[in-house]
Chain A
Amino acid sequence: MTAAEQRHEVRLTVNGVPRRAVVPARRLLSDFLRHDLRLTGTHVGCEHGVCGACTVLVDGRAMRSCLQFAVSVDGAEVTTVEGCLRPDGSLGPVQQAFQDCHGLQCGFCTPGFVTTITAYLDDRPDDHPDPNAEEAREAIAGNLCRCTGYQNIVAAVQRAAEIRRADRAEASQ
């Protein structure tokens, strides 16, 4: 490249906070979050959409942050694993479930699982209030874990749904 690469201003609302940075068009959303915004909870595994570690919520839907450019989602609301906490800063339902069920070992893939499962439970809440083991397995089928053998992650999906049901019951009282 002889000429300087053109840069673009990108504004996102990340975990409820307005953020901005000026980046080249080729900056992947995953790198934008990690390098430009210093939100390193989002992990980069395969960088071609296979492993699911980089999954974030874009306008409420789970997507691969390594398969889109930050500039392309300018203006979007993004939720990363850092945003899957409860408002008081304690572990969110999915994070709590992973702890309860021993759903992680090395933890590299965990951010992608937490965001994917959060979207699965939140996206169409009436559809997935109580997933069975098969549905839970389907929900996480796009995420790879090389440690756990998945059994405890499947259990964590069901445990997270249980926690959410309890939260809802409490909120409606």
Chain B
Amino acid sequence: MKPAPFAYHRPDSVDEALQVLAELGADGKVLAGGQSLVPLLNMRLAAPTALVDINRLDQLAYVRIEESGVRVGATARHADVERDEATYDALPLLRQALTHVAHPTIRNRGTTVGSLVHADPSGEMTAVLALLGGSVEIRTAAATRTVAAADFFLGPLESAVGAGELAASAHFPLPEGNAGTAWVEVARRHGDYAICGVGALVTLDDDLRVAAARAAYISVDATPVVRDLTDAVAGQPHDAADWAAAGALAAGELDPEADIHATAAYRRHLAAVLTARAQRAAATHAEQR
């Protein structure tokens, strides 16, 4: 239960970090908050040759509201994003989902961008990024590229960040129109990995009827899944839409696996029920905003 030895690098600037990462190539692993990585190191499920500790990169410790959305830097802690009032006013879904990410003690150290790069199929923020159609800014010493959420999550614990690269920030776009959001999930224990989690984004028209309904799911596939459920509820009043139909539509399209915590059938059942619950809450949220 102790990590294997590794070479330790602690750059003081982004440029220095990128240079070190370029030199190390496939031998280098970025250490941000470490709330997922250090358990893997402790249990020796991972034993990288070298760690590049980016915790001193204060210039990336920002949560910034831009015209088009909220940008979160690589060293911003979950707690920083969760507690930022301007961010909550602009994009409530971030706090709605973050309160389900582990426990406050973990969120005090863990970073939002780090959780995206970790790409855990049960990580809430992966689905938030996917639901909003966000992106991750990936840098090397030579270039910067922007990868859309749809292309960022490649598989369980596998993101598009390659050797020598640093995920510098994530961009969470603001939904257009009269939109409301919600996050609901079921876990065996408070703060534990969700058996199924659903983020909902519902847009209402001027008559408070449903114009669009989308949902994103965690723990039902290898990567976050986004489904457009508008067909089930389009044009229906926000307070009397057939959310159960939206849930049924979603559940029919999902193909979850069974594991020690839940059967596939139970996961699909949860997806249907939680979809309806999340969509209804998001519609109410849209009406109230």
Contact = CB atoms under 8 A, between A and B. Distances in A.
A71 B10 CA distance: 9
A160 interface: no
A40 interface: no
Interface residues of B, number: 30
Contacts of B6: 25-26
A69 B33 CA distance: 10
B38 A67 contact: yes
A48 B102 CA distance: 13
Contacts of B55: 72-73
Interface string B1-21: 111111110100000000000
Contacts of A11: none
B232 interface: no
A51 to B, nearest CB: 11
Contact of A52 (B42, B105, B109): B105
Contact of A47 (B10, B42, B104, B190): B42
A5 B80 CA distance: 35
A43 to B, nearest CB: 14
B103 A26 contact: no
B38 A49 contact: yes
B31 interface: yes
A25 B109 contact: no
B222 interface: no
Taking chain B's interface residues, is the majority helix, strand, or loop, or is none over half, making it mixed? loop
A67 B133 CA distance: 31
B93 interface: no
A62 B10 contact: no
A172 interface: no
Interface residues of A, number: 32
A95 interface: no
A64 B8 contact: no
B76 interface: no
Given A61-B79, A72-B53, A47 B1 contact: yes
A72 B31 contact: yes
Contacts of B38: 28, 49, 66-69
Nearest to A139: B104
Contact of B2 (A26, A71, A141): A26
Interface of B: 1-8, 10, 31, 34-35, 38-39, 41-43, 51, 53, 55, 79, 102-106, 108-109, 190-191
Give the top 10 A-B pairs by smallest Cβ distance, nearest first. Answer: A142-B103, A25-B8, A48-B39, A61-B108, A26-B3, A67-B38, A47-B1, A141-B190, A62-B105, A63-B109
8 contacts: A5-B5, A25-B7, A49-B39, A49-B106, A63-B105, A64-B106, A66-B38, A142-B191
Given A8-B8, A31-B2, A69-B8, 6 more contacts: A25-B6, A61-B108, A66-B38, A72-B31, A142-B102, A142-B103
